[in-house]
Amino acid sequence: MKNIEKRHIIDSNNLSGEFYFTSIVQEGYAYGLLNDSDIEDIKLQCLKLLSNKSELYNGGESSSIRIEAAESIMKSNLYTIGVYLKSLPDADFAVSELKMVSIPEMYQKGRALISGKVHSAKHIYKMAKANRLINLNYTYNATLDDNGLGIFFKLYNPDYEAHEVPVSIDYQLCNPITDLTGIEFIHKYLENLFLENEFCSYFNDDNIDHILCGYDEGYKDLLINIFEQVLTVALGCMLANSMVVKLDISEEKIRRLYNNLSKEDDYLLALKICEANEKILQELNISSLSLRRYIERSLPKITSNIVHAVKTNTLGKTIVSPSNPDLKPKIQFLSGVKMDDGKYRKFIEELLICRYSSDKLALIKEKVKSFGDIEDLLFDAQLSEEEITSVLGMLGDVEIAELIRRHPLKSDIQAVDLSEVEQALRLFLISYIDQLTADRQDHIFEILNHLIDD
């Protein structure tokens, strides 16, 4: 008999989390729990509340108010009442409360709840900052900073704009929050962010950095969710019998894992991932119930990614092997000392009066001793395409790679902002590289990957 649940007239699944008050009134009316006169009474009370709040908003100095401001205050009032109604045991009870209790009273109760939520959100924000990862991802850091989420607590106005989220949140969670707004949204976001941080704290920050580098070396500028990457690799490690805590799975192991997983159907694959998840929770000794639930909620998304990757033979892109950028060879390019300005001016004048290309090339070979001067003369000497190609032909692979690094081969759209000479140089550079053998091209691009900034 313990399993008997009370039957509810209103299905809570039909209620909107964002516009709770309006949806509960609509559902109550649809199921006959509220009649026309109840609705009329609620509307009039809402109007009276709006009138009082508008007066406060204007500080008693103005009897009229802009419609946008009034609408915002009305939304804020309804949101605040909605927060109170949500706190009640169930939707049916909330509807009966709507009939019994006056709107201003419910508003006051909702307002008190919002104050409590703001206080609680501040506390969770502090905790989320305390267990933050040391990571280079820009959106993660910018969102957690005082100039990110911290701004919310300075700008949030629970009296007149309780339904607003006056802050831009760029870092996306693994489980996005879609049906909440105002302080409820921020509260839930911070809770989830804290849980994601907590899970990641079971791993070394450097190991997380390496798997993110394995995903993309430029991950610091990407809009990625760190928790999702970490959990995916952890699952991969568990499925491939690698050390989960080190997040270390080699490319070979990923290939073997693919061979194993590709034999399974979707259901068995999902089952295996679930089992692997259980083992991870045990191995990491994760006892927090809320964290376990959060991970379980994230599993369907990650499972679907892995299933899709297995189907398309791209498991290596979903479960990535770590890559340590510090271990990669680096090339620092030193361009040598440029000739002084006077000499350079004379040299260019001499070059400009040369009639034949062969003379120009001979002069360049004779006078130019540094890469910086070569780069300058490509812009200043008004050389033709053939002459530029000949000059490029004089350069080695490292110099060509450095030239590409300094003048990247961008698309036509990106090139719009460049000067004409710069556009021409890039165009000639592209056609020069295209005419090289594939091996030499690969070699140049390999060098380009290892070149570091000056």
- Contact set with other proteins (CB under 8 A): 21-22, 25-26, 29, 39, 43-44, 46-47, 50-51, 54-55, 61-68, 70-71, 74, 78
- The angle subtended at Cα 37 by Cα 34 and Cα 39, nearest 5°, is 55
Residue (18 or 283) nearer to other proteins, CB: 18
Residue (160 or 333) nearer to other proteins, CB: 160
| Residue whose tokens read 């109760």 | 109
What token pair was written down for 346? 């004379």
Give Cβ neighbours of residue 356 (< 8 Å, ≥ 6 apart). Answer: none
Residue (32 or 329) nearer to other proteins, CB: 32
Q: How far is the CB of 9 from other proteins (least distance, A)?
A: 18
Q: How far is the CB of 107 from other proteins (least distance, A)?
A: 14
**End-to-end alpha-carbon separation of the chain, Å?**
75
Cβ–Cβ < 8 Å for 352, 382: yes
Q: How far is the CB of 181 from other proteins (least distance, A)?
A: 16
Q: Is 119 helix (H, G, I), strand (E, B) or coil?
A: helix
Q: How far is the CB of 52 from other proteins (least distance, A)?
A: 9
Q: How far is residue 205's CA from residue 246's CA, in Å, rounded to a whole number?
A: 10
What token pair was written down for 268? 């068995």
Residue (3 or 63) nearer to other proteins, CB: 63
Half-sphere exposure of 207 (CA within 13 A, CB side): 18
Burial class (CB in 10 A: 0-12, 13-18, 19+), 10: buried
Residue (11 or 71) nearer to other proteins, CB: 71
Q: How far is residue 329's CA from residue 348's CA, in Å, rounded to a whole number?
A: 37
Q: How far is the CB of 62 from other proteins (least distance, A)?
A: 5
Q: How many CB atoms lie within 10 A of CB 193?
A: 25
Q: How far is the CB of 160 from other proteins (least distance, A)?
A: 14
What token pair was written down for 365? 């070979």
Residue (56 or 243) nearer to other proteins, CB: 56
Cβ–Cβ < 8 Å for 248, 323: no
Residue (62 or 262) nearer to other proteins, CB: 62
Cβ–Cβ < 8 Å for 330, 452: yes
Residue (47 or 134) nearer to other proteins, CB: 47
Q: How far is the CB of 20 from other proteins (least distance, A)?
A: 12
Q: How far is the CB of 219 from other proteins (least distance, A)?
A: 45
- DSSP string spanning 228-240? HHHHHHHHHHHHT
- The angle subtended at Cα 402 by Cα 376 and Cα 430, nearest 5°, is 85
Residue (60 or 89) nearer to other proteins, CB: 60
Reference 19, options 187, 163, 200; nearest CA is 163
Residue (55 or 248) nearer to other proteins, CB: 55
Q: How far is the CB of 25 from other proteins (least distance, A)?
A: 7
User: In Å, what is the CA distance from 250 to each residue of 30, 35, 157, 318?
Assistant: 59, 66, 51, 13
User: In Å, what is the CA distance from 380 to each residue of 370, 425, 427?
Assistant: 15, 11, 16
Q: How far is the CB of 155 from other proteins (least distance, A)?
A: 21
